[in-house]
Amino acid sequence: MSQKDQLLRLFTYDMWANDQILLTLQEHLNFPESDKAVAYYSHIAGSQEHWHARIKGSASDKIEIWPDYGLPTALQKLKTLAEKWEVLIESNDPYFNRKIHYQNSKGQKYATPLADILQHIVIHGQHHRAQIAQLLRNAKITPPGTDFIYFSRAN
């Protein structure tokens, strides 16, 4: 599998996993710490928006990393971003090793290979989905399986 195809698969997985979490959150809207779970879900969208702007060389300083979107808006943002990631990945093949120059929130400058950033985005989303899963477990709600292997078996 080419690097482009692997990255496209990872982003397809990422949206699938986000959908799995969303369905569970919609089913159980008012559990203790549901606001925190929605905040994590919104953060996944906000951080993806932030990284997309950085990669494209657009201003990212006005993009909230911890936005107060709520589920419907976060879902719409993630769906729009899924389309943007596909276009970005398709249009950057075979230049995934090119360095993306950006500043972090503290103003420190970095140059990171595009492939590393793209993988980070998916891993970052999984981290926060795991936090949401823990909040669900704490509320005695069974979280959905969002591990890559579950996606792989179904796709």
Are 11 and 119 contacting, i.e. CB atoms less than 8 angstroms apart? no
Are 66 and 43 contacting, i.e. CB atoms less than 8 angstroms apart? yes
- What angle is formed at CA 112 by the lines to CA 12 and CA 122, rounded to 5 degrees? 20
Q: What is the mean pLDDT of residues 65-85?
A: 97
- What angle is formed at CA 45 by the lines to CA 29 and CA 66, rounded to 5 degrees? 80
Task: Using a pLDDT cut of 90, give the percent of the chain over it.
Answer: 92
Structure tokens at 68: 């107060």
Spans of all domains in the chain: 3-154
For residue 75, pLDDT over 90 is answered with yes
For residue 60, pLDDT over 90 is answered with no
Rounded-to-integer distance, Cα 75 and Cα 45, Å: 8
For residue 52, pLDDT over 90 is answered with yes
pLDDT in tens, 131-144: 999 999 999 999 99
For residue 56, pLDDT over 90 is answered with yes
For 127, the 3-state DSSP assignment is helix
Q: Which CATH superfamily is domain 3-154 in?
A: dinb family like domain (1.20.120.450)
